[in-house]
Each structure stands twice: as C-alpha cells, then as structure tokens.
Chain A
Amino acid sequence: MSGLDHNSICTNEDIGGRAGWTSALMALPRKQLVSTVDEIAKEFNVRLIALPASGLGMLKFKDSALEQSFFLGEFPLATASVELTLTDGRQIQGAAQIMEDDSSYATSLAIADAVLAHKVSGYEGLKALVQLGKQKILREQAIRNSMLTRTKVDFSLLSMTDGDDDEL
C-alpha cells in the first residue's frame, strides 16, 4: 500500500503543505469542490477507513487561577477517512477533519486530500482549486489586515497633551 499516514505532513511544491489544502479548498464555494470531486471519484473505488462522522467537539481549557479544566465551548466537527483504489490496483489514503457539521463534505475533502497527496488522476483540477482557494484566503487576509491597521491608535500623541488638565 502506498498510502500516507493521515497525520503525516506532505509538502507539494505547487500547492504548499498538506495542512493547508483543506482550508484552501474550503475557501471556495462548496458546490465547486463537490462537483469536481464527484467527477474524480468516478475513476476510483472509494472505501471508507472509518465511518464519516459529524457532531460537536468540546474544547477543554484550564483556567489560569485554579488550573482547573473546564469546557470553553463546543464547535461543529466532521471527520472522514478514505482509501482509494486506483485502476492499477494501487491504494492511496486521504483524510479530512473540518469545523463543519457535514460528513459528506468532509468525505469529498478527504478524497481530494488523497488525490492531491499522491498526484493521481484528477490532480491538476484540484491543484488549480487549491491555488484559487489560497489566493482567496490571501485576499481576505489582506482585507482583514487593512481593517486591523485602521483600528490602531497612536497613543504617543496623548503624551504631548499630558498634564494640560492640571494647568487649567
């Protein structure tokens, strides 16, 4: 089996590290990804390694005063783990864990992950999507950064008027 371990970090010179693929694909409209994966998946035999699951993850945290654990909150979580059998008999694996309440979407992303990690049929189409997604994330990040910059306050100006009230 040529499958990668789910947790292994794989870097692709065209689209960067594996850890960033899923978030890049999720930045695009869901339909765009799902229809692409639907087409790609026709060429493979897809087997689930684990049942796709969706639900709530609980975020555990320690308070700083008493160092006691408490649940900070919950978040939607969906996971999927798949194995694709290629036409030549090779088997490859992919997985996805996303903050969405949709196991079907996670399965599509897991298939995309496997294809991207092993550069098999359908790779070029998904690579283009990842690059599009990354560009979209960068654009959004730039907008956020500019918004953040505008909220910055220069407190050094206050020191110039320091003590004025006392003089009055």
Chain B
Amino acid sequence: MSYDLLSNADQESQHYHLDSIWYADTQNEIFQSLMQAMSRPGSIHNLESRLGKSNTVTAVLATLSDAQVTACNHDSLITDEDWSLSQCQTVSADKAGYIVCDGSLPCSINPSQGSLVSPELSGTVIVSVKKLANELTATSQDDRLWRLSGPGVDGVIDVGVSGIDSSWIHQRENWNSEFPLGVDLIVVSETSVLALPRTTKVECLT
C-alpha cells in the first residue's frame, strides 16, 4: 500500500492529540534540516520549534521511518507508543537501517556497514547526547570537543558534544575504515541535530 502522511491540516477536528512531529509538514521541515546537516557535517540545526512535546530523537526517527524501514530501539529511548506510531520493522542492531542509541553509554552495537556493491545499505546510528554546541568547554569526562574535516566542511570546524562516551568515536573509526563501507551518525541533543557522514574525519581534541 502506498499511503499519504497526515498533513497538518488534519489536526483540525480530530478526536485525538498527536504531536506535530507525526504530521507531514513538520516532518518535511525536519527532513530539510537533516539534509542540511548531512551535506554540511558539523553544522548544528535547532529543531526546538518543531518538536511540540516530543523529544528530538523521536522527531528524527518519525521523520525517517515508515513501514518499509527497519530499526532498532537499542537503549529503549523511544517509548512503546511512539515506536508503534513510527511503523518501523523492529530488527536487531546489526540488521537495522536505523539504530537509536544512548550516547552516554559505551557503544555496544555492530551496525551493518553495507557491501561494496551497495554501501548505502549500511545502518545509520541516531545517537542521543546531552548537548551540542559550536564551542564547548570540557567540564566533565563525557564532554568532547571534535575537530571535523572532509567533504562538506570548509577547512575544519570544531563542535562540542556533551554526554557522549569516548567509545563512540573509536568505534566509528573502525566502522569507517574501509570506504565506501561505513556507518553514518546522526547526533541529537535535546533540541538540536548534527550529522557525521562516513566521509567526515573526526579528531578528538578533548
């Protein structure tokens, strides 16, 4: 079945409350932000005005998912109700198109890195962190300052990520060591999103 998403106009005279992230217009806006984030690694996009009562992780998953998408709610960050609405097919992390993880925990997944024929069939990891900023002073051991370079970055760009375990960047290096195979990361904070495609080089400054 091919189907149409609920449009924001459908919110009128409904019997139920559905957060704005489940409507097509909002998802289009979030998708635009994700496209920008992917094409300009290191750029931080604020989604706060589009979230309603939902969190950023759910909003990103809602935007990317439909009944054809395979996903893994690895650290149970998405509630059962929202997971049901996303219509994702639940699979294990190594088979999932999208894996939702808590960045504060050590990385314990092994996503698909695609194949040489179809590197696009790799998994994309949505990592939840505490905070994203263009500059961040390290105040705790989970605060990182990353220097990014590569396609889409004008020279280098520094980003601060708070609340991410150091194992994530080490694992990412392993996953992306045999280009074009690799794993793309979407890092989300409470309000913002940043993307790390497999082509982006990340240097940990702290």
Contacts and interface: CB of A to CB of B under 8 A. Distances in A.
Contacts of B87: 50-51
Contacts of A111: 15
Interface stretch (B1-9, B117-125, B154-162): B1-9
A53 B15 contact: no
A89 to B, nearest CB: 17
Given A103-B10, A104-B10, A47 B4 contact: no
B81 A107 contact: no
B1 A56 contact: yes
A50 B84 contact: yes
B63 to A, nearest CB: 13
Contact of B81 (A47, A58, A77, A108): A47
B14 interface: yes
A48 interface: yes
A53 B3 contact: yes
Nearest to A111: B15
Interface residues of A, number: 23
Given A108-B15, A111-B15, A51 B85 contact: yes
A132 interface: no
B2 A55 contact: yes
Nearest to A54: B4
Given A54-B3, A56-B2, A107 B85 contact: no
A107 B4 contact: no
Interface string B86-114: 01000000000000000000000000000
Interface in B1-60: 1-6, 10, 13-16, 18, 22
- Contact count band on B: 10 to 19
B3 A48 contact: no
Interface string A32-55: 000001100100001111111111
Nearest to A75: B1
Contacts of B1: 53, 55-58, 77
Nearest to B10: A104
A103 B81 contact: no
A41 B15 contact: yes
Contacts of B5: 51, 53
A58 B2 CA distance: 8
Contacts of B15: 37-38, 41, 46, 82, 107-108, 111
Contacts of A52: 6
Contact of B4 (A37, A49, A53): A53
A46 B18 CA distance: 10
B10 A51 contact: no
23 contacts: A38-B13, A46-B16, A47-B16, A48-B16, A48-B18, A49-B84, A51-B5, A51-B18, A53-B5, A54-B3, A55-B1, A55-B2, A55-B3, A56-B1, A56-B3, A57-B1, A58-B1, A77-B1, A82-B16, A103-B4, A103-B6, A104-B14, A107-B14
Interface of A: 37-38, 41, 46-58, 77, 82, 103-104, 107-108, 111
